[in-house]
Chain A
Amino acid sequence: MKQSPSMERIQEKMQPGRLTIKGFLGDDDRKLADIIYEDHGNITAAGVTNEEIADRMQHFTDIAAKGLGSPVKTEDIYIVSVDDHRGTIPCPFSDNFNAGKRNTRFENISLGITIYWSDLNIHMIKEHGFYEGKGSFFRIDTKDIAMILGLTK
């Protein structure tokens, strides 16, 4: 897919050492526009929207936050916790959004799957449909995320 100059600039900001030491793209060498396009296809195929995914993640983060770092069990099959650091990080999409440096650990006990996301991930998914590049620590697999979060069976 053809990528606009503004997307090129955003992709440049996502490189290692710019906003974080590892960057947002992992070892994914696709264009940012292609990453977002393909993930959008997976999310749509699962019958959900980016907003629903982000809202569900935010829901779990809010529950986890009450544990002040300790794990919290919810809905019988999920264990969530947050790791909170001082400071903020700007969104690489240059939309003047600064996220707190808070990471959520999410475990789906029944599936035996644990994933991680940051507050910035929730924002980037909701506002930009970006789930990070393959190989990135916070990459969320868009084929299974709706099921992992309990939005679909």
Chain B
Amino acid sequence: MTILFTILSISAISTVLSVFIVIAERFLNDYGECSIDINDGTRTIKVKGGDTLLSSLAANSIFIPSACGGKATCGLCKLVVTGGADELLPTEEPYLSDDERRSGIRLSCQIKVKRNISIVVPEEFFSIKEYKAKVERITDMTYDIKEFRFKLTDPREIDFKAGQYMQIKTKPYDKGQESVSRAYSISSVPSDKNAVELIVRRVPGGICTTYMHEYLKTGDEVILSGPYGEFYIRDDVSKYVFIAGGSGLAPIKSMIFDMIEKGMDKEMLFFFGAGSRKDLYYFDLFKDLEKKYDKFRYIPALSKPEPEDEWEGETGLITDVVSRYIEDEKNKHAYLCGSPGMLDACIRVLEDKGFTRQIVFFDKF
């Protein structure tokens, strides 16, 4: 009898507390209108309190880079917060170095705007916009990679640097009730101002890649934002080494064609790692480019060619192939994009050849 009474009492108390928390959330957590001071008074926006800093800014057309859509899994949405934020959250800790914490850097997706808040937003972020677009074309590149061409409808033009990425917002579908945002590198060239092309490899079980591969159709309307990212050609050197695998070809393709369009007279060496012939795409495009542009060299490498591939090109791991071709770092910069495992392995090879981290650029998200 005592046990039953105890269980009932605990259950009753739990229920009362739960109801209280729900009511408190609804009425007591009303933070009213809060202001966000940007760049020391340069701009001030008024927002309804309670939402995250990332989404509050997005609602005011200020888009902060984020590859995970606010789930605290990419660590890209860093901003300096000079006042008004709560204490650092455990969800932010893995992404912030001691120096960053001392500088007041926070993940904007984790901070809730509960009072007036002051932040510093880098100037380049103000050029990031939201775009309405229509799917103009979907092309199968391999068995698990598709290329999507989006015609921009509002606004109709975009300025970006080759190598940057866009975010696409999914619509709720199947059993997913929430819209999610994910980042994909732009594969088209900046001169193609009325559209962007994205190359998307299907991730088994992935919410956004499944949406794009199975649900998105030609003519569908989508919401994009961008351009984001600092992965673009920076300094002027005489030789460029590009290394990519899988969908990591996207920003590299944009960079190579942009450089050629701009008449940059540079030596370019493009390594593309794949398993077998069925994983290669844009093979003819880059082979043709090699014929037209004598300073461009395309080196696709297959780690496991099938007999029917009749492959006569390079074989072996991409790391071994890069190691055979690259002797040293002199007058070179390296740009890499691909899976984290491939990137780490290739960076180690380049470091062995004398490349420092200052001349190796990569997009890892």
Q: Which residues of A pack against B, CB within 8 Å? A: 5, 15-23, 65, 67-71, 82-90, 96, 98, 100-103, 137
User: Given A17-B174, A68-B317, are A86 and B364 also a contact pair (CB < 8 Å)?
Assistant: yes
Asked whether, in the complex, the Cβ of A68 is within 8 Å of the Cβ of B205, the reply is no
User: Given A16-B175, A68-B303, A70-B304, are A87 and B201 also a contact pair (CB < 8 Å)?
Assistant: no
Chain A-chain B contacts (Cβ-Cβ < 8 Å), number = 98
What are the 7 closest A-B residue pairs judged by CB atoms, nearest first?
A: A17-B176, A84-B339, A17-B175, A16-B175, A20-B205, A70-B303, A84-B341
Q: Which residues of B pack against A, CB within 8 Å? A: 14, 67-68, 71-74, 90-91, 93-94, 174-178, 182, 201, 203-207, 210, 245-248, 273, 275, 303-304, 317-319, 338-342, 345, 364-365
User: Given A84-B341, A96-B94, are A67 and B203 also a contact pair (CB < 8 Å)?
Assistant: no
Asked whether, in the complex, the Cβ of B73 is within 8 Å of the Cβ of A89, the reply is yes
* Bound: A18/B67 CA distance, A: 17
User: Given A17-B174, A84-B340, are A67 and B205 also a contact pair (CB < 8 Å)?
Assistant: no
Asked whether, in the complex, the Cβ of B178 is within 8 Å of the Cβ of A17, the reply is yes
Asked whether, in the complex, the Cβ of B90 is within 8 Å of the Cβ of A86, the reply is no
User: Given A90-B72, A96-B91, A102-B341, are A15 and B205 also a contact pair (CB < 8 Å)?
Assistant: no
User: Given A68-B341, A137-B205, are A98 and B73 also a contact pair (CB < 8 Å)?
Assistant: yes
* Bound: A88/B94 CA distance, A: 13
Residues of B within 8 A of A84 (CB): 339-342
- Specify which of A71, A83, A102, A137 is in contact with B340 (CB 8 Å cutoff): A102
Residues of A within 8 A of B245 (CB): 68-69
Query: In chain B, what residue has the closest Cβ to A65?
Result: B341
User: Given A17-B177, A68-B318, A68-B342, are A87 and B205 also a contact pair (CB < 8 Å)?
Assistant: no
Residues of B within 8 A of A5 (CB): 14
* Bound: A18/B182 CA distance, A: 14
Asked whether, in the complex, the Cβ of B206 is within 8 Å of the Cβ of A21, the reply is yes
Sample of 28 A–B contacts (CB below 8 Å): A16-B176, A17-B175, A17-B176, A17-B207, A18-B176, A19-B207, A20-B207, A23-B175, A68-B245, A68-B273, A68-B303, A69-B275, A69-B339, A69-B342, A70-B303, A84-B339, A85-B201, A85-B206, A85-B246, A86-B248, A87-B182, A88-B73, A88-B74, A89-B73, A90-B72, A90-B73, A96-B93, A98-B94
Asked whether, in the complex, the Cβ of A70 is within 8 Å of the Cβ of B317, the reply is yes
Least CB distance from A61 to B in Å reads 10
Count chain A CB atoms within 10 A of each CB in B91, B177, B207, B342 and give the residue with the most: B207
Query: In chain B, what residue has the closest Cβ to A70?
Result: B303
Main secondary structure of the interface of B (DSSP, over half): loop
User: Given A85-B201, A86-B340, are A21 and B210 also a contact pair (CB < 8 Å)?
Assistant: yes
Least CB distance from B213 to A in Å reads 11
Residues of B within 8 A of A89 (CB): 73
- Specify which of A15, A101, A137 is in contact with B203 (CB 8 Å cutoff): A101
Least CB distance from B158 to A in Å reads 22
Residues of B within 8 A of A82 (CB): 341
Query: In chain A, what residue has the closest Cβ to B303?
Result: A70
* Bound: A68/B319 CA distance, A: 9
Asked whether, in the complex, the Cβ of A85 is within 8 Å of the Cβ of B339, the reply is yes
* Bound: A71/B303 CA distance, A: 10
- Specify which of B177, B203, B318 is in contact with A85 (CB 8 Å cutoff): B203
* Bound: A21/B204 CA distance, A: 9
Least CB distance from B249 to A in Å reads 12
* Bound: A92/B312 CA distance, A: 46
Asked whether, in the complex, the Cβ of B175 is within 8 Å of the Cβ of A21, the reply is yes
Residues of A within 8 A of B275 (CB): 69-70
User: Given A68-B303, A87-B365, A98-B94, are A21 and B339 also a contact pair (CB < 8 Å)?
Assistant: no
* Bound: A21/B206 CA distance, A: 6
* Bound: A22/B207 CA distance, A: 9
Asked whether, in the complex, the Cβ of B204 is within 8 Å of the Cβ of A137, the reply is yes
* Bound: A70/B279 CA distance, A: 12
Query: In chain A, what residue has the closest Cβ to B319?
Result: A68
* Bound: A83/B205 CA distance, A: 13
Least CB distance from A7 to B in Å reads 14
Asked whether, in the complex, the Cβ of B174 is within 8 Å of the Cβ of A21, the reply is yes
Query: In chain B, what residue has the closest Cβ to A98?
Result: B73
Asked whether, in the complex, the Cβ of A87 is within 8 Å of the Cβ of B176, the reply is no
Residues of A within 8 A of B319 (CB): 68
Query: In chain A, what residue has the closest Cβ to B180?
Result: A17
